[in-house]
Amino acid sequence: MKKTILQSNALWMIVLSVGVACPAASAELQVLGVHFRADQPYPQYHRLWHEDSNDPEIPEGAAAEEASVKEPLGASIHVLVRNTGTSPLKIEDLFYAGESLKGCLVYSDQRKVRKFASITFANLPPDRLKKLVAAGEPIWMKADPLTLPPGAAGQVMVRTRRMPPGENIALALKCGPRAIPVTVPLQPRQPRLAGVSFSPDLREVYLYFRHPEKGKAPVKVLLDGTDVTGSAVVSRDATLNISPVVMRLSRPLARGSFHVFQGVYDDGQTASAGLRAWSDEFGYGMWGGPPGKSEDEAIARNYILDLTAHNINLQVAQIGSPPVQAFLRNPAGQQFAAARGLRFIPDEPQKWGVRTPYMMFIHDEPDCADHKMEGVAEAGKIGGLAQWCIQRANEIRVEEPDELSMLNVDNTYKPQNWYIYGQLADVLSIDPYYQPRLRTAAWERPERLATHSKATYVLGASQVARSACEPNPLHVILYACSIIDGEKKRAFPFPTPESKRIEAYYALAAGAKGLSYWWYTPSLAPDRVKSKVSHGVGAGSILGDPAAGALWREIGLVGAEVRTLGPVLMTGCPAGLELQATKGLRAWSLIAGQDTLVLPVVTDQYANSEQGTKYDPIAKASLTVNLPSWIKSPTVFEVTAGGIRDVPAKTADRELTVDLGKVNLTRMIVVTEDNTLRKQLQSRYEKEFKAKAAALVKGHQKP
């Protein structure tokens, strides 16, 4: 029998009772459960993880590349709790391997604001530091929420760089002067709560439980420790390892409120997760903005019109445009944007005059700065800014308590960056920019051309990141620029419309619940650029650049499809159903509730290069899916930029065969038993997107 970490310390081996009293008057902490999340490996994508970060300080082939491939994966440990008392309760610390993480995850003085934190900076005696590292090396710790109101649920998380050894790990939660012991079994193959979504009114909760064994489904469902099995419908299929559960509540959850969801199996295992209740429309966003002078209101108005004409409904984090910033600070500017359905993800409360944000942005690309941390071995740098990001998120939440937080992670120290930062925020955002990889292959590393002739980088990064952040939402940012190298007087072209469509579908197939594009901002004099510049897609509208215009048009058409299907995508979860497609096609499956499937289909007969995209249409294509047991007599249709269309299909012995006909690039197939869904989506399309899509089809024009 392997020993438990800290087995020699009796304090943390005490059996945990159902409720543990804390010193605060009338406050009691109940541990609802524990959950261990081992990182899921994706070895099929290792060939894609070249360490060619946007930051020039990390050279090609540096030690960071070695770390990205050879460094073992880690885990996150979750303790789920509830305040059963009548007074607010605060969990002040978590003890790990006998050490206070509050005392060990110490900020360095290398930076004044965005500070690095690491156990290396705690000045621990060598034996104690070695013990922490041997126990998996904690990187960050988070209590969410910071203070538990009476009756509220929460969780305490700790992220480790490597898998902790042994069969169990002993922790202790500090609640006042007492340490409350908690033992966590280390079970890498335990069931997971793979997805949690909510209906628009927050009265229905869609839970997707995934078990290592096929045919398993929870026999009991808990909400904040209360048995709600009676209000939940549980579905199972003997051939699948995923089980959708729909919970219908008598009262809606409050937006932004934190809750713990659990599914108990007949073998005693429990899948648990804590997250915030949130529902909104599918976010389809843009970064950047048009250059100009702050007093030029016409530029700002035309920009908002240009975005919304291309079905953009979000301005994300960075505008960088004086006229747009000035316009939005005026109430009339906010009204102009709101009337056209444009919303915002600001990085500061009340920024740009935004009163009702879509969500809040914590920080951009912390992993790009992690390598600058001094005094830490290269393999131990990733995650250096994590504790500061948690601090920043808590500061924002004080002013915006009802809004979700988003953190964007770049491409440094892949894939550990996505795993390490994945559970930190309410929403994980990633920017797997494919065209910079293709440009590097074409200009500097020709041996990589075959690897990056397809946009698989987007698919791989999105799938890894989705597994790292689940059940929280994933947001994927796609590249929409020409790369100008002013020093060498050359430019890598704008992404082709074909490639960008495929990339968007890859992200959706991985389970993304939001897309955005970097970025709009064009260089007004691209022929006079002296350094390396990302020349944005706004060059189509502002400068009349035909390649930018074609890309911008396709972004708008994809937006019509994605946002039409948005209500279904927002409740969906990657399913892993058994699919067979005509040679040359790839297909994936998303489960949406207990009556609908979404099947994104993408051609695999294409190749990208500096010269453009070449593809071979598939004349007679079909797709076959083994339907889950809870879908018996579905209807089939597809969502396109031109609206909703019928698709021929037939069912025999639970096997559905869809006649796709000719496939050029992508198809979005919907299989449903909801006889109202098609009508709802068609109405949504005609009301919001039909006229815009028709205008885009006629040709890209300035607003």
The answer to whether 342 and 312 are in contact (CB under 8 A) is yes
- Which of 241, 312, 297 is closest to 573 using CA atoms? 241
Helices 434-443 and 497-509: angle between axes, nearest 10 degrees: 130
> Would you tell me how many other CB atoms lie within 10 Å of the CB of residue 301?
18
Of 640 and 26, more confident: 640
State the chain's mean pLDDT as an integer: 91
CA distance 523 to 154: 47
Of 205 and 320, more confident: 205
pLDDT at residue 204, rounded to an integer: 97
pLDDT at residue 273, rounded to an integer: 97
Q: Is 177 left (phi over 0), alpha (psi -120 to 50) or beta?
A: alpha
pLDDT at residue 60, rounded to an integer: 41
Spell out the alpha helix ranges (H) of 135-214.
Answer: none
Q: In sequence order, what are the beta bridge partners of 245? A: 207, 234
Confidence grade of residue 48 (pLDDT, cut at 50, 70, 90): very high
DSSP one-letter code for 519: -
Q: In sequence order, what are the beta bridge partners of 80? A: 33, 155
pLDDT at 57 over 90: no
Q: Which amino acid is at 597?
A: L
pLDDT at residue 176, rounded to an integer: 77
pLDDT at residue 700, rounded to an integer: 54
CA distance 159 to 168: 16
Confidence grade of residue 70 (pLDDT, cut at 50, 70, 90): low
Q: Can you tell me which residue has the tokens 């920043």?
A: 392
CA distance 638 to 428: 29
pLDDT at 531 over 90: no
Find all residues with CB under 8 Å of 441, minimum gap 6, and list them. Answer: 447, 448, 449, 451, 452
Confidence grade of residue 365 (pLDDT, cut at 50, 70, 90): very high
pLDDT at residue 3, rounded to an integer: 35
Task: Tell me whether strands 138-144 and 314-316 are parallel, antiparallel or unpaired.
Answer: unpaired
Find all residues with CB under 8 Å of 216, minimum gap 6, and list them. Answer: 191, 236, 241, 243, 265
pLDDT at residue 511, rounded to an integer: 98
Encoding tokens for residue 55?
């930051």
Percentage of residues in the chain having pLDDT higher than 90 = 86
- Which of 65, 69, 111 is closest to 374 using CA atoms? 111
Kindly compute the dihedral angle of the four CA atoms of residues 113, 118, 124, 127, in this order, to the nearest 10 degrees. Answer: -170
Region 639-652 average pLDDT: 96
pLDDT at residue 13, rounded to an integer: 31
The answer to whether 314 and 519 are in contact (CB under 8 A) is no
Find all residues with CB under 8 Å of 686, minimum gap 6, and list them. Answer: 643
The answer to whether 141 and 102 are in contact (CB under 8 A) is yes
> Would you tell me how many other CB atoms lie within 10 Å of the CB of residue 10?
9
Region 688-696 average pLDDT: 97
Confidence grade of residue 526 (pLDDT, cut at 50, 70, 90): confident
pLDDT at 58 over 50: no
Encoding tokens for residue 465?
């990141």
The answer to whether 454 and 446 are in contact (CB under 8 A) is no
pLDDT at residue 21, rounded to an integer: 46
- Give 480-503 pLDDT, tens digit per residue: 999 999 889 999 999 999 999 999
- Give 108-133 pLDDT, tens digit per residue: 999 989 999 999 999 999 999 999 99
pLDDT at residue 179, rounded to an integer: 84
Region 690-697 average pLDDT: 96
pLDDT at residue 28, rounded to an integer: 87
pLDDT at residue 323, rounded to an integer: 97
Spell out the alpha helix ranges (H) of 519-605.
Answer: 539-542, 546-564, 566-569
- Give 319-361 pLDDT, tens digit per residue: 989 999 999 999 999 999 999 999 999 999 999 999 999 999 9
CA distance 536 to 494: 9
Encoding tokens for residue 385?
């800014």
With residue 620 as reference, give the H or E element that holds it.
strand 618-626
- Give 420-449 pLDDT, tens digit per residue: 999 999 999 999 999 999 999 999 999 999
Encoding tokens for residue 624?
């076959």
With residue 456 as reference, give the H or E element that holds it.
helix 456-469
pLDDT at residue 23, rounded to an integer: 42
The answer to whether 656 and 636 are in contact (CB under 8 A) is yes
- Which of 101, 95, 198 is closest to 472 using CA atoms? 198
pLDDT at residue 699, rounded to an integer: 74
DSSP one-letter code for 11: G
Could you tell me the end-to-end alpha-carbon distance of the chain, in angstroms, rounded to an integer?
A: 71
pLDDT at 53 over 80: no
CA distance 31 to 83: 9
DSSP one-letter code for 350: T
Q: Can you tell me which residue has the tokens 């215009």?
A: 549
Q: In sequence order, what are the beta bridge partners of 616? A: none
- Which of 329, 335, 346 is closest to 295 using CA atoms? 329
> Would you tell me how many other CB atoms lie within 10 Å of the CB of residue 204?
18
CA distance 420 to 465: 10
Of 67 and 93, more confident: 93
Kindly compute the dihedral angle of the four CA atoms of residues 357, 358, 360, 363, in this order, to the nearest 10 degrees. Answer: -130
Region 674-701 average pLDDT: 92
Phi (first) and psi of residue 657, to 5 degrees: -115, 125
The answer to whether 353 and 330 are in contact (CB under 8 A) is yes
Find all residues with CB under 8 Å of 672, minimum gap 6, and list them. Answer: 595, 596, 597, 631, 634, 635, 678
Region 58-65 average pLDDT: 41
pLDDT at residue 51, rounded to an integer: 56
Confidence grade of residue 175 (pLDDT, cut at 50, 70, 90): confident
Write down the pTM of the prediction. Answer: 0.94
Q: Which amino acid is at 359?
A: M
pLDDT at residue 237, rounded to an integer: 96
pLDDT at residue 17, rounded to an integer: 36
pLDDT at residue 27, rounded to an integer: 57
Region 677-688 average pLDDT: 97
pLDDT at 701 over 70: no
- Give 264-323 pLDDT, tens digit per residue: 999 889 999 999 999 999 999 999 999 999 999 999 999 999 999 999 999 999 998 999
Phi (first) and psi of residue 197, to 5 degrees: -135, 165
- Which of 337, 5, 49, 57 is closest to 183 using CA atoms? 5
- Which of 64, 144, 135, 70 is closest to 384 using CA atoms? 64
- Which of 364, 366, 365, 367 is closest to 64 using CA atoms? 367
pLDDT at 388 over 80: yes
Find all residues with CB under 8 Å of 226, minimum gap 6, and list them. Answer: none
CA distance 653 to 244: 22
CA distance 269 to 182: 17
Of 700 and 241, more confident: 241
